[in-house]
Amino acid sequence: MRHLPETDRDALHIAQHPQFPRWLEQVTATGGCAHPIHLSGSTTTLDATTGEILRHYDTRTEPGERLSVRCRNRRASVCPACSRLHAGDTFHLVRAGLLGGKNIPTTVRNRPRLFITLTAPSFGPVHRAGNERCRPRRDGGTCEHGRPLGCAAVHALDARAVGEPLCGDCYDYSAHVLWHAHASKLWDRFVIDVRRRLASSVGLVQSRFADHARLSFARVAEYQKRAAVHVHAVVRLDGPNGPGDEPPAWGTAGLLIDAVCASVGRVLVRTPHSPAVGELALRWGVQVDARRLHTDGDGPDDDAVAAYVAKYVTKGASETGAGTDHTLSTWVDIDAVPVSEHVRTLMRACWRLGGLPEYESLRLRAWAHTLGYRGHILTKSRAYSTTYAALRADRAHHVGHADIPDTVTERNWRYVGSGHTPGAALLAAGVAEDIATNREIAREEREVPR
């Protein structure tokens, strides 16, 4: 035993413990969570009328006198098991807003619906991938720093140069970081302006738009190769009471596309004035894509759109190469992060600007690991579809964890730790892999024609 690695010794010790079967049940119940939360306490269910104890659970009989629950981290790089669950919830959340279900009427599939993509503006030319030359220039030429203004190479998609600026000194790193910090506010103003464009295009007073229609959406943020966030969103037009109400006759997909394209070019957010940077007017990029979603198949498939959004929800900053999933505590930490020099320079810009009093409210140093972007990876309007909480409640009910009617439940829990020992992590990873394999086999069997 002493000649074995520490991880193997720990795994054998766990497997030989008398309570190993129960420990394995707990790990399986969490789906093989890589970083579970450990709780200690009890739950007592009593009859609301008589006070009789109907059910009692206490962790004192559990291995280590604790109960393990999922960490629920969405990032696949942190916890593959919980990220798969989160991706599944996201798929159903987005799909319900497209096709109905989960208390959303199926009539939403006949509403004006768009799948839109909004990009960040240019902060300086970067190397591009594709089958053609990167940035051909007949006259050649160099920038003021002596670097070529063009690039005649043909870059593969995975080439290290893709997304890197042609000249790092010409690239506006401050604007890039500040655009990230204001991206969520820019989206909010975009949605407000789309409502205004719709109202004015049909002769309505803008303040009365909510009396005639409601704009619902679900959006996800994704990092591009140049480490700039762009936004994918499903946008739907309903009646004033939400998904159960038909939109007005004037509410068409064509009108919605026109409003989206007009608003993208109109909205802006101004940054606080800084002696170091000045005042910036931040806008969306010129590349905009707005596609109709059709029920007859003439357009992007609804399930494919939901799956596309769900896929990007599980990606962390480190997985895309546009940052790291862990916060940075000091300037020195930036040098140790395994990222490209372009991304490292963006982190340094966050740290430098974060020390200026005019940008204190942006908390740029706290968000340096995500290059200043501090919005949620997925957001939705209230009336778009169901919620994550409702989906989790449905899952709990499905596995028999629903509350018993006419009872009172007393809960007494406290946090006692998190994570696995090395051996436990190895065993949990095996459980997660088995569950994923079984799920894939079941999916393949469902797809086999009968």
- Count of C-beta atoms within a 10 Å radius of residue 107: 13
With bands split at pLDDT 50, 70 and 90, how would you rate the model's confidence at 449?
low
Q: In sequence order, which residues have a C-beta less than 8 Å from that of residue 50 and are 6 or more positions away?
A: none
User: pLDDT at position 178, please?
Assistant: 97
CA distances in angstroms from 278 to 21, 124, 274, listed in the order given:
64, 18, 5
Q: In sequence order, which residues have a C-beta less than 8 Å from that of residue 433 and are 6 or more positions away?
A: 32
Adjacent-strand bridge partners of 101: 104
With bands split at pLDDT 50, 70 and 90, how would you rate the model's confidence at 322?
confident
**Separation between Cα atoms, residue 380 and residue 95, nearest integer Å:** 13
pTM of the model: 0.85
With bands split at pLDDT 50, 70 and 90, how would you rate the model's confidence at 310?
confident
Percent of the chain with pLDDT over 70: 95
User: pLDDT at position 191, please?
Assistant: 96
Do residues 335 and 240 make contact, with C-beta atoms less than 8 angstroms apart?
no
Look at phi and psi of residue 303 and say left if phi exceeds 0, alpha if psi is from -120 to 50, else beta: alpha
User: pLDDT at position 77, please?
Assistant: 80
Mean pLDDT on 296-320:
74
Measured in whole angstroms, how far is the alpha carbon of residue 300 from the centre of its chain? 21
- What digits encode the pLDDT tens for the residues 31-85? 999 999 999 999 999 988 888 888 999 999 999 999 999 998 888 888 889 998 8
Provide the token pair at 436: 């994923």
Adjacent-strand bridge partners of 143: none
Give me the amino acid identity at 107: T
- What digits encode the pLDDT tens for the residues 195-235? 999 999 999 998 899 999 999 999 999 898 899 999 999 99
- What one-character-per-residue DSSP string does 334-379 give? HHHS-S-HHHHHHHHHHHHHHTSGGGGGGTTTTTGGGTT--S-SEE
Give me the amino acid identity at 191: V
